[in-house]
Each structure stands twice: as structure tokens, then as C-alpha cells.
Amino acid sequence: MKKILLILVFSFLSLSFYLSSRFKKTEVKDADTIIVSFTILEDIVSQIAGEEFDVYSITEPGEEVHGYKPTPSDLIKASNGLIFIENGFGFELWSDKFLSNLNLERITISDYLEPIYITEDAYTGKPNPHAWISPKRGKIYIDAIVLALTELKPESEEIFVKNGKVYKDRLSQIDKEFSLFINTLKKNERYLVSCEGAFSYLTNDYGLAEAFLWPVNAETQITPKRMAKVIKTVKENDIPAVFCESTVSAESQLTVVEETGAIFGGNLFVDSLSLEGGPASTYIELLEYNLETIKNSFHTHQEG
Ligand SMILES: [Zn+2]
């Protein structure tokens, strides 16, 4: 009996020791965790934070973000974070309700951005959320995040400012390459045709016109009228290539291809990064991949 009691006491002691050390570990880690809404923001914040913070995204790579519904485990993970950073402009339709259950400070990047408004369908008059898709606007994301992190950890300001500067230099380089490419295009080719109307900031910043099959992914019903309009635009302007996005089906765009003789240029990345090892597993890779994909399909056409 004594022996059993001794074993029990010993087991209890080791279990409490194990639990307390685990708990402490989690506590330390969580004190440094920033919660973000989507994977592109996760990468941008991580690049600036360096070793100073852990960054955790509620939505995962490759996931459609607009219609996301948080799970109870998302709430548990977020409850341990320091702050919540989101894009805003209506991109995270779920975040108001999500945050109402949490005691988390909220940073909304769109507070720092000039909106471009959606001009079609149910979304008319609402800001287009996809500002990060233009490297010029990406720099504003970086500035906003440097500010937010500095406020959280003023003693690491130098690190955040330095990381932000290096990062912005990379964006300036992509910005320059994009402008150079646009200058090689004939006037009728200066069109970006996509599935979702997610490229307004890019087209606006680089002097392109845009056409798309639907304004926002949250409402992906394609109407015959809209399809006819895109087909007409592609035919009339002899647009060489059309595109879709990685998180939605390209089926409707392939109909445009059949009807017009334009080539299908490929899937661009907008709302979500690819899985690690994929072609767009960082924000910089995403911008470079989109630029290369657009470049290649237009040049294939020019050579053909
Ligand atoms: Zn989108």
C-alpha cells in the first residue's frame, strides 16, 4: 500500500512539474505572439519583426479568405496574442465578431491607405480591399507595421526600422521592373483581365485598364451578362492573355479563352500565399510571380 501511495505521489509531482514547465514555456512564447488575419500579412509582419515576435495567421496558405469563418480553436490561439493586425477595407468580414470575444488591441492597415472604390454590383461604393497587390502600396503596409511594432516594443525600434527599409528596397525594385515591363506593351495590351476584380490598385498604379468576371470573391456567381461583357472587351481590344487567381476555379475564364482566342496566362496570387515550397510562399515571391506570369504570357503572344 505504502509503495502504491509513493508511486502515486511521485506521479502527481512529476505531472505537476511537467505541466508547470509547459505552461511557463507557452506563457513566454505567447507574450511575443502577434495575431494576423491572413498569410500575406503574416509574412510582411514576420519580415519586419525578425526575431522579436512570433506571428500567427488565422487563415492558412491557399485558403479563400473573404468568406472565412473562424473556428473555436482560432479563438483559443488568438486569445493568447498581443495584438491583432488586419487588412481592413472589408476584407475580414469575420473580424468584428471574432474580436468582440477577445481582449485584443486591433491594428487596421487600411487606416493608413487611400481607398479605390468598387464600382460594380452589390459592392458598389465599398473600398476594394486588395491594396497589397501593388508594390507601391505594399510600402505603406510596411510603414504601418513598423509603427505598430515600435509601439509594442520601443526598445527594438532600430531593428524594425532597418528591416522595414531593406524590405521597402525590395519592393522598389519590383516596382521599377513592373513599370519597365508596362512600357514595352502596346496600348491595347495594357489590360489586366482576371477572375476577381482584385487588381485595381495594381492597374491604377501602373496605367493599366482592368476587366474581371466578378468584383469580389465573396460573391462568385458569374452572370451571362458579365461574361459577355468580358468577352466583348477582350475581343474589341485584342487583349493577348487573361488570368485567374490561385484560390478560385479558372473554369469561367477558360470560357473567355475559348470565345476570344486570348491565351490563358495562368493563376495569379492575390488573397493568400502558396504553401511553403510553392511559387508564392512569401509576399515578395507573390509579387515577382505575378509580374513574371503576366510578362511571360504577353511576351509569348508577342513572339507568336
Ligand atoms: Zn480577394
Residues with CB under 5 A from ligand 1 (ion): 198, 217, 271
pLDDT per position in the chain (304 positions), as tens? 445 544 444 444 444 444 433 333 334 345 689 999 999 999 999 999 999 999 999 999 988 888 899 999 999 999 989 999 999 999 999 999 999 989 899 999 999 999 999 988 788 899 999 999 999 999 999 999 999 999 999 999 999 999 999 999 999 999 999 999 999 998 878 999 999 999 999 999 999 999 999 988 866 568 888 899 999 999 999 999 999 998 888 899 999 999 999 999 999 999 999 998 999 999 999 999 999 999 999 876 665 4
Give the Cα separation of 72 and 225 in Å (integer).
40
Q: Say which residue the cell 503572344 belongs to.
A: 301
Do residues 202 and 193 make contact, with C-beta atoms less than 8 angstroms apart? no
For residue 70, the tally of other CB atoms under 10 A from its CB is: 18
Give the Cα separation of 129 and 171 in Å (integer).
19
* CA–centroid distance, residue 28 to ligand 1 (Å): 35
Position 114 scores a pLDDT of 97
* CA–centroid distance, residue 153 to ligand 1 (Å): 32
**237 Cα distance to chain centroid:** 30
What are the structural domains, with CATH classification, of the chain?
A: 27-170 (3.40.50.1980), 177-303 (3.40.50.1980)
Q: Maximum CA pair distance of the chain?
A: 92
* CA–centroid distance, residue 185 to ligand 1 (Å): 26
* CA–centroid distance, residue 78 to ligand 1 (Å): 23
* CA–centroid distance, residue 156 to ligand 1 (Å): 33
Position 66 scores a pLDDT of 87
Give the Cα separation of 267 and 292 in Å (integer).
12
* CA–centroid distance, residue 142 to ligand 1 (Å): 20
Q: Which three cell numbers stand for residue 261?
A: 482566342
Angstrom distances, CA of residue 295 to CA of 27, 71, 150, 268, 273: 48, 39, 38, 12, 20
Angstrom distances, CA of residue 19 to CA of 15, 23, 78: 6, 6, 21
> Cβ-count burial of 89 within 10 angstroms (0-12 exposed, 13-18 middle, 19+ buried)?
buried
Position 100 scores a pLDDT of 94
* CA–centroid distance, residue 217 to ligand 1 (Å): 5
**What is the DSSP track for 142-205?**
HHHHHHHHHHH-GGGHHHHHHHHHHHHHHHHHHHHHHHHHHHTS-GGG-EEEEEES--HHHHHH
Going by C-alpha positions, the residue among 76, 131, 124 that lies closest to residue 108 is: 131
The DSSP bridge pattern shows strands 241-245 and 263-268 to be parallel
Position 3 scores a pLDDT of 52
Position 12 scores a pLDDT of 44
Position 67 scores a pLDDT of 87
Going by C-alpha positions, the residue among 96, 104, 2, 91 that lies closest to residue 40 is: 91
Classify residue 127 by its DSSP letter.
B
Position 247 scores a pLDDT of 85
* CA–centroid distance, residue 171 to ligand 1 (Å): 21
Position 89 scores a pLDDT of 97
The CA-CA-CA angle for residues 121, 100, 70, to 5°, reads 65
* CA–centroid distance, residue 207 to ligand 1 (Å): 21
* CA–centroid distance, residue 198 to ligand 1 (Å): 6
Which backbone phi and psi does 265 adopt, to 5 degrees? -80, -20
* CA–centroid distance, residue 91 to ligand 1 (Å): 8
Position 14 scores a pLDDT of 47
Q: Is 223 left (phi over 0), alpha (psi -120 to 50) or beta?
A: beta
Position 220 scores a pLDDT of 58
* CA–centroid distance, residue 201 to ligand 1 (Å): 12
